[in-house]
Amino acid sequence: MKNLSIIILVLFLYFQAGAQITHKRTLKLMGSRFDITVVAKDTILADSYIDLAVSEITRIEQLISSWDPKSQTSEINKNAGVKPVVVDKELFDLIQRAQSISKLTDGAFDISYASMDKIWKFDGSMSQMPSEADIKISVEKVGYKNIVLDASKSSVYLRKKGMKIGFGAIGKGYAADKAKALLIEKGVVSGIINASGDMNTWGNQINGEEWKVAITNPLDKNKAFALLPITNGAVVTSGNYEKQVTFNGIRYSHIIDPRTGYPSSGIVSVTVFAPKAELADALATSVFVMGKDVGLNRINQLPNIECIIIDEKGNLFTSNSIEINKI
């Protein structure tokens, strides 16, 4: 009886001290796998927090989805070459930030890629490269400079008929950022939102250590190059090791240069560390398109942004201010 009293007292003191548990849920959102992890006092509270995150991600999807005919994004696309469309400030601001990244990357990132004709297939069905003429035609309606924004009216206008915008390159990252911000506002001290590889963290693990992310070896996915700590930031990896084609000895990625219509080559993996997943998402795609030298040069000019590139020979390159302790 005495031992039981001691156990009860210990448990009482343990919970009074604010014991925390790590709780994770995996689900499909925005057509992709999301892993949402939060640190909370118990599973009931943790589940309520995760429910909030899911609701926020679903709200974002309804706003930016080009597949939903009722979304504001679809309304913009339907009125391409016809008239401007007034949208919520949140969507307007997202498009404006996307345009800023397009300018920063000289068009290597471009949300109007959505109007690109899908002449490249990465499902094993391609037996030869598309013709130069077909490739040229495929990008005729692509061009971020033809997205006209009017801040006074919060309107968006696509100049060319047939133009489309899409947020496939930043949508999951943006949703992860918004869900993270909401959870922090609600008092969640620590967690991870993993949107199909777009990692967004805050706080520390319950043992006090930083969250860590593995940099996978794209030539052997069962191995990792390094394990890096990440605190209150985001890390996104873009890779071509699963979707690619090879012609004339050149390996082409599914990540296509929106300026030329040709897939990127030479790089198999780009990992970007940034304060927000939306930015990391966009820059990872951009570096793939710009190539190793131009990509690293651009990253080195940006504050609080770091990058790791792995080329098709397995060589590793990094931006100036990142230190890697290889495993």
Share of the chain above pLDDT 70, in %: 89
pLDDT digits (tens, 9 = 90+) for 155-190: 999 999 999 999 988 999 999 999 999 999 999 999
Quickly state the pLDDT bin for 242 (edges 50, 70, 90): low
Residue with the bigger pLDDT between 231 and 99: it is 99
As a whole number of angstroms, the distance between CA 71 and CA 82 comes to 18
User: In the predicted model, is pLDDT for residue 218 greater than 90?
Assistant: no
Residue with the bigger pLDDT between 3 and 223: it is 223
Ramachandran region of residue 155, left (φ > 0), alpha (ψ -120 to 50) or beta? beta
Quickly state the pLDDT bin for 91 (edges 50, 70, 90): very high
User: pTM (2 decimals)?
Assistant: 0.88
Residue with the bigger pLDDT between 232 and 293: it is 293
Q: Which residues contact residue 281 at a Cβ distance below 8 angstroms, ignoring those fewer than 6 apart? A: 169, 170, 172, 173, 174, 198, 236
As a whole number of angstroms, the distance between CA 272 and CA 72 comes to 30
pLDDT given for residue 14 in this prediction: 40
Quickly state the pLDDT bin for 241 (edges 50, 70, 90): low
pLDDT given for residue 308 in this prediction: 93
pLDDT given for residue 208 in this prediction: 87
User: In the predicted model, is pLDDT for residue 325 greater than 90?
Assistant: no
pLDDT given for residue 203 in this prediction: 93
Q: Which two tokens stand for residue 143?
A: 């061009």
As a whole number of angstroms, the distance between CA 230 and CA 76 comes to 37
State the chain's mean pLDDT as an integer: 88
Most confident listed range (65-69, 237-241, 265-269, 279-283): 279-283
Residue with the bigger pLDDT between 265 and 303: it is 303
Quickly state the pLDDT bin for 326 (edges 50, 70, 90): low
Q: Any alpha helices (H) in the chain, and if so which ranges?
A: 2-16, 43-64, 72-78, 89-104, 132-138, 171-185, 277-290, 292-300
Residues facing 263 on adjacent strands: 256
pLDDT given for residue 12 in this prediction: 40
User: In the predicted model, is pLDDT for residue 217 greater than 90?
Assistant: no
Q: Which two tokens stand for residue 274?
A: 């940034």
